[in-house]
Structure 1
Amino acid sequence: MTRVIGYIVLFLLHTAFSCSPGWTQFGNSCYHVSTEHESWMDGMRMCQMHGGYLAHVESQSEDDFLKQLMKQNGIDEAWLGGSDWTMEGTWVWEPDGHMFLYSNFAQGRPNNYQGENCLSKEHGHSYKWDDDDCDSHRSYFCEKPAVGNVNGIIG
């Protein structure tokens, strides 16, 4: 009986939280990887238009999930939501300004080469992170909370 109740609870949780078409769920968030290339700022704007933000990577498992999305979609470089343009060398998640609790920079990165201030994830660096010119055009990851599906819950 306890096992049956457990399955029902898992089913209801799965049904209650879901992602829009074109978005993939991981944990409590939904992710969209754009195959269109935009600057970091334009990528952020596109994410905001869809109720999200450039992805905030807070764990190795989340980073690995994004790596798999890049591989599945044939993407070599993608913007993430970090920057150090407010204070050089202090990386935060935009637009909320929370400092990184997890990072996965490639060896020798970030290097601020010619004033690079925006965060990308790159195949050329074994899917590790790099600081890049914010005006460069590349794919980008949007993230937003998984939405409660009130139609899936009765009561």
Structure 2
Amino acid sequence: MNIKSPSVLYCAAICNMYKMCSYYSYNDDDKLCLIHSNLEEDTIQYGLQWRIYEPVITDCPVHWDLFEDNCYFFSPHERSWHDSKVYCVEQQSMLVEVKSSTQKNFLKGKAIEHLSSYWIGATDLETEGVWKWNTSQTGLTVTDWSPNQPDNYLGNQDCVQIMKSEGYTWDDNLCEALRAFICEKPIFS
């Protein structure tokens, strides 16, 4: 079976969905995934661009959602931004960092499904107005700010939430405010 695949991890997830998959190969140049059912019967693709992999478990823990190469936990409980960050670390994860439009849309869709506002991992605690992802310390390349946000209302809003009352767009808020939160970790952690 020949499938277009954005990553080797996505290819691994596809392999795990099919009982007949005994191994898979991935071509990173062409973004192709080949699912193989039997080593003796299949024609193996050779070349520098092809790599062969054995199936691995790509399931997320209970109550976590799989999207692309990561698992996401949408907390039903509210905590401060700092306590949310600590909880995620205790789960070998981090507050979510939004790196693509498809990921942003997935998160927004799940937030709408759960009808909650959520903390995400962005903050300007270090330097006012310079928004970074807390764990990777990288700047925000994908955003979804509500109109006129961030506004640093009353001078002390330093943490980012997906805000239910603003159409599930982003808003800066007091880090001490209680919100649900989203943790993120790679499939293979």
What TM-score range do you get, normalising by the shorter chain? 0.7 to 0.9
Q: Tell me the percent identity.
A: 26
Verify: 1:106 aligned to 2:146, yes or no: yes
Once residues 53 and 65 of structure 1 are traced to their aligned partners in structure 2, the CA distance between those partners, rounded to angstroms, is 17
- Structure number with bigger Rg: 2
TM-score by length of 1: 0.85
Structure 2 residue runs of 5 or longer lacking an equivalent are 4-10, 18-54
Deviation track 1:85-109 (CA, whole Å, cap 9, x = no partner) reads: 1011110001221111111111100
2:120 alignment partner, SS class: strand
Q: How many positions carry a matched residue from both structures? A: 144
RMSD value over aligned CA atoms? 2.1
Match of 2:32 in 1: none
Distance 2:112 2:184 in 1: 18
Q: Indicate if the aligned counterparts of 2:115 and 2:164 stay in contact, CA closer than 8 A.
A: no
Q: Give the structure-2-normalised TM-score.
A: 0.70
- Corresponding residue of 1:80: 120
1:106-128 C-alpha deviation (Å, 9 max, x unpaired)? 11000011210001001211111
How far the C-alpha of 1:83 sits from its partner, in A, is: 0.1
Counterpart residue number, 2:64: 23
Helix, strand or coil: the match of 1:106? Answer: coil
Query: What corresponds to 1:152 in structure 2?
Result: none
Instruction: Say if 2:125 and 2:159, in contact at 8 Å, map to a contact too.
Output: yes
1:99 maps to amino acid? G
Q: Which has the higher helix share?
A: 1
Q: Which runs of 4+ in 1 moved over 4 A?
A: none
Secondary structure of 1:61's counterpart equals: helix
Corresponding residue for residue 12 of structure 1? 15
Gaps of 5+ in 1: 149-155
Distance in 2 (alpha carbons) for counterparts of 1:56 and 1:126: 19
2:170 matches 1:129: yes
Contact 1:19 1:147 in 2 (8 A): no
